[in-house]
Amino acid sequence: MVSWIQDTKNPRLIQDSYILLHSKKRPTFMKPIAPQPLITTRAAEEIRAAIVNGSLPPGRRVRQEELAAQLGVSREPIRKALLVLESEGLVSGLENRATIVAPLDPSLISEIYEFREAVEPYVAGRVAGKGDFDGRALRRIIAQGRKAVGAGALDRLIDLDGAFHTELYRESGNRVVVEVMQTQWTHIRRAMMLTLKARSYRNRVWDEHEAILEAILNRDVARAQDLTAAHLRGARTVVTAGLRASTGATKQGAE
* Domain 106-253 indexed as CATH 1.10.1060.10: no
Q: Give the burial class of 79: count Cβ atoms within 10 A of its Cβ; 0-12 exposed, 13-18 middle, 19 or more buried.
A: middle
pLDDT per residue, tens digit, the chain (255 aa), is 444 434 445 555 445 555 545 555 555 565 665 555 689 999 999 999 899 888 898 889 999 999 999 999 999 999 999 999 999 889 998 777 789 999 888 888 889 899 999 999 999 999 999 888 999 999 999 999 999 999 988 889 988 999 999 999 999 999 999 999 888 888 888 888 877 777 888 899 999 999 999 999 999 999 999 999 999 999 998 888 878 776 655 455 544
Q: Residue 242: what pLDDT?
A: 78
Q: Residue 81: what pLDDT?
A: 93
In one-letter notation, the amino acid at residue 43 is: A
Q: The domain 39-101: what is its CATH number? A: 1.10.10.10
Q: Residue 10: what pLDDT?
A: 54
Q: Residue 192: what pLDDT?
A: 80
Q: Residue 208: what pLDDT?
A: 97
Q: Residue 110: what pLDDT?
A: 87
**Structural domain boundaries of the chain?**
39-101, 106-253
Torsion angle of C-alpha atoms 186, 192, 196, 201, degrees rounded to 10: -170
pTM here is: 0.75
